[in-house]
Amino acid sequence: MSRIRKLAAFAALAALVAILAAACVSSDPDAAVTPADAETVANIAAQTDEDGNTVPAEGAEVPPAAGGEGEEGGEEDPAIADGEAAFVASGCSGCHLGNGAEGGGVGPQIAGTGATDERIRTIVENGRGAMPAGLASGGDLDNIVAYLLSLQ
Ligand code: HEC
């Protein structure tokens, strides 16, 4: 007798599971469609390349490493990095050692001299002493100014 009861209980349970499963599938098919105005979010998770190295996802903005440069948690203006590159490309680093961070070259150290935006522009545009005029201009000069100000 108890065996039959167990079977009945099992059958009831199976029926319940079947009903619940049916309830899950019977959702509104329209609700599963991505709305046309949905925002696409790029996958910024790190990827693994063919050599097994972890690389940032293509187009992902890699968050700066914690404890990096700068007091604001390493958030750096991209103009500063571009400016350092322009400082080298424009030949400034040939005279200003350590990309302007060190003394001892033909040109003086620029880091920590309190150089201002205006002073840097005037000197680069007009030259000064042994320093030739007009080595950088336009966007390059803007970035160089941002870079040199970041050294102050
Ligand atoms: C041929 C060597 C030479 C090159 C190249 C050169 N400089 Fe200079 N720079 C100097 C010298 C020398 C001085 C010091 C001039 C003086 O005061 O008599 C100087 C001074 C400066 C100063 C003033 C520092 C201060 O506050 O007193 C800045 C800023 C500067 N250079 C930026 C640059 C930048 C930016 C470039 C590239 C676009 C550059 N220099 C390329 C030689 C050079």
Per-residue pLDDT of the chain (152 residues), as tens digits, is 567 777 777 777 777 676 666 655 566 766 677 778 888 777 777 778 888 877 777 766 666 555 545 455 556 799 999 999 999 999 999 999 999 999 999 999 999 999 999 999 999 999 999 999 999 999 999 999 999 999 99
**pLDDT for 50:** 83
Look at residue 88 and tell me if it is in a domain: yes
Q: Where are the beta strands (DSSP E) in 49-94?
A: 54-55
- Cα–Cα distances (Å) from 58 to 45, 46, 51, 64, in that order, read 10, 9, 16, 16
Residue written as tokens 């005037």?
122
- d(CA 78, ligand 1 centre) in Å: 23
Rounded Cα–Cα distance for residues 86 and 142 (Å)? 10
Q: Which residues contact ligand 1 via a Cβ below 6 A?
A: 87, 90-92, 94-96, 106-108, 110, 113, 115, 119-120, 123-124, 128-132, 135-136, 144, 148
- d(CA 77, ligand 1 centre) in Å: 23
Label residue 60 exposed, middle or buried (CB < 10 Å: 0-12, 13-18, 19+): middle
- Total tally of structural domains belonging to the chain: 2
What is the span of the domain harbouring residue 16? Answer: 2-27
**23 and 82 belong to one structural domain:** no
**83 and 143 belong to one structural domain:** yes
- d(CA 108, ligand 1 centre) in Å: 7
Q: 102: domain CATH number?
A: 1.10.760.10
- d(CA 131, ligand 1 centre) in Å: 5
